[in-house]
Amino acid sequence: MKAAVITGYGGNEVVEIRDMPRPEPGKGEVLIRVYGASINPVDWKIRNGMLRVLTGRKFPKILGSECAGEVVEIGDGVRRVKPGDRVIAHPGARRLGAYAEFACTGEGNVFPSPENLSFQESSPLPIAGLTALQALRDLGRIEAGRSVLINGASGGVGVFALQIARIFDAKTTAVCSSSNFDLVRDLGADRVIDYKKQDFILGDDRWDIVFDAVSKSSFAKAKRVLTPRGVYIATLPQPSTLINQYLTRFMTRKKARTIMVRPKLVDMNWMKFHIEAGRIRIVIDRNYPLEEIREAFAYSESGRAKGKIVLKTGEEETPREEYGKNGPPASGRVTD
Ligand SMILES: NC(=O)c1ccc[n+]([C@@H]2O[C@H](COP(=O)([O-])OP(=O)(O)OC[C@H]3O[C@@H](n4cnc5c(N)ncnc54)[C@H](OP(=O)(O)O)[C@@H]3O)[C@@H](O)[C@H]2O)c1
């Protein structure tokens, strides 16, 4: 099978398309014919060797943390999925293997795909989608009427965060450059701030949640613009935020938190439910064939993506019929 592999850590020069053996599903594992895969900043950080403690020194290594496609084979003991199911898979940063024609992972990392999405559209849900959901709901305790600022609202995580905040009826301020104002307003931003003209930490406004989706600020800077019980949430585990996270647990009412996404079925079903009801749309900025993975990484590394960058690893299907027009209510939790 065709796969995007690295033969050592480094820049884009270490990435190549190779013929690799097709994986075989072991006990409790699922083999997927991959049609779409998502690029996240973590993937080129892995390529660079920044996560080598987790990813080890065994090469060649097939890259890719998340993908979507059709189940072709299941190992002993797999109960929840069967061949032919349309699924999203999250092999994760430890196992990797998503940038290939076939990927294999444990059943616990395989989730049903929303009916109304193509595979390329559904592939970003475990990382970007759930980072936004878990940050706002679990760390930010988002509720109707609360004010939320999303820094980096036009990026892969930000475009989900805006739409999720709208589902919870929160008041949103999107921070991005003015060229992305139309996009973020379309996704539900009540207010917009151009970070190139105005620093949100300096104004008179206050927010209950500052979700720093691109981790360009810090708790130390942003605490000034938090309401008395406000929360600052970062996406990168920077030492200063981690120290403040520890200190603010006991000492202040304003809190610092860092999100570490954990893809799980109940949250993937929450996303599926709201996507099928038409409340969350997938914003794809660029779509590259697997062979152009270097170009896809270079674009992600530029930091200019508007929504998601995806890879096509097989013949794309026609997106399913629009679904759930009279779907369920606009808020609330969904369980599996
Ligand atoms: N902890 C976790 O579990 C977890 C999970 C997912 C992602 N992450 C991390 O979260 C970060 C964001 O991920 P992502 O996928 O959203 O990244 P991304 O898609 O690459 O973000 C690109 C966006 O960031 C905006 N941006 C760049 N500089 C900015 C600034 N100074 N202020 C405001 N916006 C700015 C850009 O807008 P302009 O073009 O207008 O500048 C662009 O739209 C990454 O560092 C990633 O590694 C962590």
The full DSSP string for 81-139 is --TT-EEEE--HHHH---SBSEEEEEGGGEEEPPTTS-HHHHTTIIIIIHHHHIIIIII
| 159 and 238 both lie in a single domain | yes
The overall longest dimension of the chain from CA atoms, in Å, is: 60
Q: What is the number of structural domains in the chain?
A: 2
| 81 and 156 both lie in a single domain | no
CA of 24 from ligand 1 middle (Å) equals: 35
H-helix or E-strand containing 289? Answer: strand 284-289
| 222 and 164 both lie in a single domain | yes
Per residue, what are the HEC states of 141-187?
Answer: CCCCCCEEEEECCCCHHHHHHHHHHHHCCCEEEEEECHHHHHHHHHC
User: By alpha-carbon position, which residue is closest to atom 40 of ligand 1?
Assistant: 177
Whether residue 58 has pLDDT greater than 90: yes
User: By alpha-carbon position, which residue is closest to atom 39 of ligand 1?
Assistant: 304
98 touches 91 (CB < 8 A): yes
Whether residue 329 has pLDDT greater than 50: no
**Which residue did the predictor score with more confidence, 325 or 292?**
292
**Which residue did the predictor score with more confidence, 320 or 119?**
119
CA of 158 from ligand 1 middle (Å) equals: 7
Split at pLDDT 50, 70, 90, the class of 317 is: low
CA of 292 from ligand 1 middle (Å) equals: 22
Whether residue 60 has pLDDT greater than 60: yes
Evaluate whether residue 264 is within a structural domain. no
CA of 45 from ligand 1 middle (Å) equals: 13
Percent of the chain with pLDDT over 70: 94
| 173 and 239 both lie in a single domain | yes
Evaluate whether residue 324 is within a structural domain. no
| 76 and 91 both lie in a single domain | yes
* Residue 254, amino acid: K
CA of 78 from ligand 1 middle (Å) equals: 36
Which tens digit of pLDDT belongs to each residue from 4-47? 999 999 999 999 999 999 999 999 999 999 999 999 999 999 99
Q: Which atom of ligand 1 is nearest to the CA of 309?
A: 19
Please give the pLDDT value at position 246: 85
Average pLDDT over residues 81-91: 97
Residue 170 sits in a domain whose CATH number is 3.40.50.720
| 152 and 55 both lie in a single domain | no
For residue 47, the Cα-to-chain-centroid distance in whole angstroms is 18
Q: Which atom of ligand 1 is nearest to the CA of 259?
A: 1
Evaluate whether residue 204 is within a structural domain. yes
Whether residue 325 has pLDDT greater than 90: no
Evaluate whether residue 206 is within a structural domain. yes
Whether residue 173 has pLDDT greater than 60: yes
Calculate the alpha carbon distances from 54 to 9, 58, 241 in Å: 13, 11, 22
Whether residue 323 has pLDDT greater than 50: no
Average pLDDT over residues 297-317: 92
Evaluate whether residue 276 is within a structural domain. no
Q: Which atom of ligand 1 is nearest to the CA of 175?
A: 33
H-helix or E-strand containing 256? Answer: strand 255-258
| 83 and 200 both lie in a single domain | no
Other C-beta atoms lying within 10 Å of the C-beta of residue 332: 10
Rounded CA-CA distance 44/236 in Å is 15
Evaluate whether residue 330 is within a structural domain. no
| Range name among 72-76, 241-245, 308-312 with the lowest pLDDT average | 241-245
Residue 60 sits in a domain whose CATH number is 3.90.180.10
Residue of 177, 214, 233, 260 to test ligand 1 pocket, by largest number of atoms within 8 Å of CB: 214
User: By alpha-carbon position, which residue is closest to atom 45 of ligand 1?
Assistant: 214
Whether residue 322 has pLDDT greater than 60: no
Other C-beta atoms lying within 10 Å of the C-beta of residue 143: 13
| 117 and 137 both lie in a single domain | no
Rounded CA-CA distance 1/21 in Å is 6
CA of 214 from ligand 1 middle (Å) equals: 4
Please give the pLDDT value at position 326: 36
Calculate the alpha carbon distances from 171 to 142, 145, 149, 175, 329 in Å: 10, 6, 8, 13, 19
Which tens digit of pLDDT belongs to each residue from 215-262? 999 999 999 999 999 999 999 988 888 888 888 887 779 999 999 999
Evaluate whether residue 16 is within a structural domain. yes
Evaluate whether residue 270 is within a structural domain. no
Mean pLDDT of the chain: 93
CA of 329 from ligand 1 middle (Å) equals: 30
Average pLDDT over residues 180-196: 98
| 111 and 182 both lie in a single domain | no
Q: CB under 6 Å to ligand 1: residues?
A: 40-42, 127-128, 131, 151-152, 154-158, 175-177, 180, 195, 213-216, 235-236, 259-261, 300, 303-306
| 14 and 87 both lie in a single domain | yes
Other C-beta atoms lying within 10 Å of the C-beta of residue 81: 18
| 294 and 213 both lie in a single domain | no
Split at pLDDT 50, 70, 90, the class of 330 is: very low
State the residue range of the domain holding 158. 128-258
Whether residue 331 has pLDDT greater than 80: no
